[in-house]
């Protein structure tokens, strides 16, 4: 599932995606305009919250810039973070390499005795720091690693305001609750999805639908119950090279 942020007629995202066998395309931009190109579905972008206090520093782990050799560990941590969502879009290997090679954001890892136990993507220091796509390893020390990640990231730009992309239900989302200003959401930033061939997507989802149908049983009294069984409400999480919060 590729992410597009440019006009389709300029870069032919749709054609390139179809040639790659993608079933879903995602982008961010002006909702009405992109609806004209078939982007009719929406996934909420995680809310950005201000950090109003920091956990105490003092962990034995080291926060450092990520290296190409860390990609596997970072991908595994993000996979663990996304495991609680019904629909997910991870970074591809090519996207990880692109993020490491370009400067619009920084990839950081928290290293403990040679093992990457947390990772984050941040905006460059200067004026304001945004901590996004953060997650800690699913182990006994998860929340401790998450707190070390937050305090270590703040130490890179002392005195600068810090905001975080709050991914509810993840390890970092839970560990950072007490340090955040939980203000009401004022904007509705969203990713927009396009399904170019509905039949192809439904065919790919056939095993899932069959599993849901057999689990629900055949005693259906109305179409509404059947469709609720086949299409329950879903949660989603998207990783994109583009940071929509900037």
Least confident stretch, 7-11, 20-24, 51-55, 130-134: 7-11
Going by pLDDT thresholds of 50, 70 and 90, the confidence category of residue 138 is: very low
Q: Can you tell me the mean pLDDT for 59-69?
A: 91
The residue with greater pLDDT, 94 or 242, is 94
CA–CA distance, 216 with 229 (Å, rounded to integer): 6
Helical ranges in the chain per DSSP H: 8-11, 13-19, 31-35, 71-82, 93-101, 142-155, 171-175, 198-204, 206-216, 223-230
Q: How confident is the model at residue 160 (pLDDT cuts 50, 70, 90)?
A: confident
- Mean per-residue pLDDT for 49-66? 88
If you compute the radius of gyration of the chain from its CA atoms, what whole number of angstroms results? Answer: 20
DSSP state of 90: P
pLDDT for position 189: 79
Q: How confident is the model at residue 139 (pLDDT cuts 50, 70, 90)?
A: very low
- With a pLDDT cut of 70, the percent of the chain lying above it is 83
Question: What is the percent of the chain where pLDDT is above 90?
Answer: 22
Decide which of 129 and 215 is more confident: 215
CA 224/CA 216 separation, integer angstroms: 13
Residue with more model confidence, 210 or 12: 210
Mean pLDDT of 235-239: 80
Higher-pLDDT residue of 62, 141:
62
7 falls in which pLDDT band (50, 70, 90)?
low
Res 110: pLDDT: 93
- Tokens representing 191 are 């990713």
Token pair 């206090």 is found at 53
Give the model's confidence band at 111: pLDDT under 50 very low, under 70 low, under 90 confident, else very high.
very high
Q: For the residues 169-179, what does the mean pLDDT come to?
A: 90
Query: What does the pLDDT average to over 163-176?
Result: 87
Average pLDDT, the chain: 81
């Amino acid at each position: 599932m590729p992410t597009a942020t440019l006009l389709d007629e300029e870069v032919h995202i749709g054609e390139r995606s179809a040639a790659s066998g993608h079933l879903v395309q995602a982008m961010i931009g002006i909702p009405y305009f992109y609806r004209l190109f078939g982007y009719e579905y929406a996934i909420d972008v995680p809310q950005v919250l201000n950090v109003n206090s920091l956990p105490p520093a003092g962990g034995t782990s080291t926060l450092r810039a990520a290296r190409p050799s860390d990609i596997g560990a970072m991908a595994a941590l993000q996979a663990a973070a996304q495991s609680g969502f019904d629909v997910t879009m991870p970074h591809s290997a090519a996207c990880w390499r692109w993020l490491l090679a370009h400067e619009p954001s920084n990839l950081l890892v928290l290293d403990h005795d040679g093992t990457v136990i947390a990772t984050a993507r941040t905006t460059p220091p200067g004026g304001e720091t945004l901590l996004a796509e953060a997650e800690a390893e699913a182990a006994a020390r998860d929340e401790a690693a998450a707190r070390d990640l937050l305090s270590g990231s703040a130490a890179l730009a002392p005195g600068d305001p810090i905001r975080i992309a709050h991914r509810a239900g993840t390890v970092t989302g839970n560990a950072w609750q007490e340090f955040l200003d939980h203000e009401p959401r004022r904007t509705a930033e969203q990713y927009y999805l396009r399904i170019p061939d509905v039949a192809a997507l439904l065919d790919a989802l056939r095993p899932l639908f069959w599993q849901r149908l057999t689990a629900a049983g055949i005693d259906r009294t109305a179409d509404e119950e059947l469709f609720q069984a086949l299409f329950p409400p879903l949660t989603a999480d998207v990783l994109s090279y583009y940071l929509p919060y900037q």
